[in-house]
Amino acid sequence: MSLLKYTRCLMKETLSMAEVQDIFLSSFADYGSNHRVPSIAQKAAQAIMACRTAALGGHRDICPDCGYERNSYNSCRNRHCPKCQTLKKEQWIGKRCEDVLDVHHFHAVFTLFEYSNKVNYLRSIDIREDFSKAQ
């Protein structure tokens, strides 16, 4: 069975882990009544809670092979919504994986103090060379 047919004919009931949407739906009202929530955060939370529900409308998907039917609800497309941004996130990760060298290496991130710039300038040598040679 092709992947497309498989995704069209998913079981009607599936087990799932709690999602951000579920957490917001169960506790955001209480949290908002006890804490000051900025309007931009309220808008994001409202969008996440409405995402892929009847509140945003939807349509009916019908499998042309077996006739299986299911409701598909519209996405909120909010940039903070984990449901809406998962595909973009996975695409971004895929592109980053293409950039990784096929060698054994470590990725280290650190912050240098501002005075390091002066030392670097006075030495006329890029201090990053020293770090790259360090083992």
pLDDT for 126 beyond 70: no
Cβ pair 51, 21 in contact under 8 A: yes
pLDDT for residue 17 is more than 90: no
- Exposed e or buried b per residue across 108-123, where buried means at least 16 C-beta atoms within 10 angstroms of its C-beta: eeeeeeeeeeeebeee
Taking the C-alpha atoms of residue 40 and residue 38, their distance in angstroms, rounded to an integer, is 6
CA–CA distance, 29 with 20 (Å, rounded to integer): 14
Contacts of 14 (CB under 8 A, 6+ apart): none
pLDDT for residue 98: 86
**81 Cβ contact list (under 8 Å, min separation 6):** 20, 44, 47, 48, 51, 75
The encoded tokens of residue 53 equal 């529900």
Asked whether the whole model's pTM tops 0.75, one would answer no
